Structure 1
Amino acid sequence: MEISLTTPALLFPAISLLLLAYTNRFLTLASLIRSLKTRYATTHSHLVYSQIQNLRIRLNLIKNMQAFGICSIFGCVFCMFILFAGYSTLGKYAFGLSLILLMASLALALRETQISVRALTLELNDLEEEAEEGKSSKNTP
């Protein structure tokens, strides 16, 4: 396989958009953590505490997603530098490593999404329980 200087550059837009999406997820989690902290301070709800624990895991995953994404783009730049210097075999390995790092970042993103869905399920279950309690209290004379 022949690799040119432009091959690693093809990943720049994709990785940049991924990092932007990861940053948006991080900022959303930060806001949610702050609001849940306030809510937990007033209610000491078990559900809120479970969500906070869930967010801690997701925060670590997002941190690692960003780290692997940054390392991937760094690897692409390093690959371009190596190819520019004329070391095509070493450049192929550097590009391969960049792709592996990108796959690791995407795998962590998948895991974080699964945990996020589980957190939303907790919230929906709580909502359904409140609805059921409301129905049963209306039916009780």
Structure 2
Amino acid sequence: MLEININTPALLFPAITLLMLAYTNRFLSLASLVRKLHDEYQHGEKEKNILNQIKNIRSRLNLIRYMQGLGIMSFLCCVLCMYAIFRGWMEVSHWIFAASLIFLLGSIILSLIEINKSTKAIELQLSDIEELSKGNIFNDIFKNTES
């Protein structure tokens, strides 16, 4: 079995911390968007796609919650792994470190899914603009410049 030392799980600390910061930033931007949509709704500015936007935001908030939870579990497993290595429980430390990596992998996969939903939300917002639905990249490239 591969030998790990106390530095091995410690290497994940900065990566997990940066991921958690990115997840928190995504959460804060969604919270700001929810407040904006709520204000628009209160002032009677009901957009055509507001229900679709709300469904998308709710789904993304749940994904971010699970992403953060898995990230925290990964961080916790890293700490437990370091403790197990400190105590000399090498077999246990290998299993705990493996669990930490699996939690981190799950968190990153959920992040990828959330990013995909985020781009779909932007596409939904852009679908209201008629000019974008008529054009495509080839029309823009080969546009007649004389008119």
Same fold (TM over 0.5): yes
Per the alignment, residue 81 of structure 1 pairs with 83
Runs of at least 4 residues of structure 1 off by over 3 A?
129-132
Per the alignment, residue 27 of structure 1 pairs with 28
Q: Is the 8 A contact 1:62 1:109 kept in 2?
A: yes
Per the alignment, residue 3 of structure 2 pairs with 2
Q: Distance in 1 between matches of 2:130 and 2:58?
A: 25
What is the Cα deviation at residue 46 of structure 1? 3.3
Using structure 2 for the length normalisation, give the TM-score. Answer: 0.85
Q: Distance in 1 between matches of 2:38 and 2:21?
A: 26
Per the alignment, residue 13 of structure 1 pairs with 14
From 59, 62, 80, the counterpart of 1:60:
62
What is the 5 A alignment of 1:1-141? Answer: 1-41=2-42, 42-128=44-130
Q: Tell me the secondary structure at the aligned position of residue 114 of structure 2.
A: helix
Q: Tell me the secondary structure at the aligned position of residue 88 of structure 2.
A: coil
What is the Cα deviation at residue 39 of structure 1? 1.7
Q: Distance in 1 between matches of 2:124 and 2:130?
A: 10
Q: Is the 8 A contact 1:65 1:105 kept in 2?
A: yes
What is the Cα deviation at residue 43 of structure 1? 2.7
| Percent of aligned pairs with the same amino acid | 48
Q: Distance in 1 between matches of 2:60 and 2:29?
A: 11
What is the Cα deviation at residue 50 of structure 1? 1.0
CA RMSD in angstroms comes to 1.6
Q: Tell me the secondary structure at the aligned position of residue 46 of structure 1.
A: coil
Q: Distance in 2 between matches of 1:99 and 1:3?
A: 14
Q: Is the 8 A contact 2:16 2:75 kept in 1?
A: yes
Structure 1 unmatched runs, 5+: 133-141
Letter in 2 for 1:45: E
CA gap of 1:118–1:131, structure 2 versus 1, over 3 A, is closer
Matched length:
132
What is the Cα deviation at residue 49 of structure 1? 1.8
Q: Is the 8 A contact 2:74 2:100 kept in 1?
A: yes
Q: Is the 8 A contact 1:39 1:48 kept in 2?
A: no
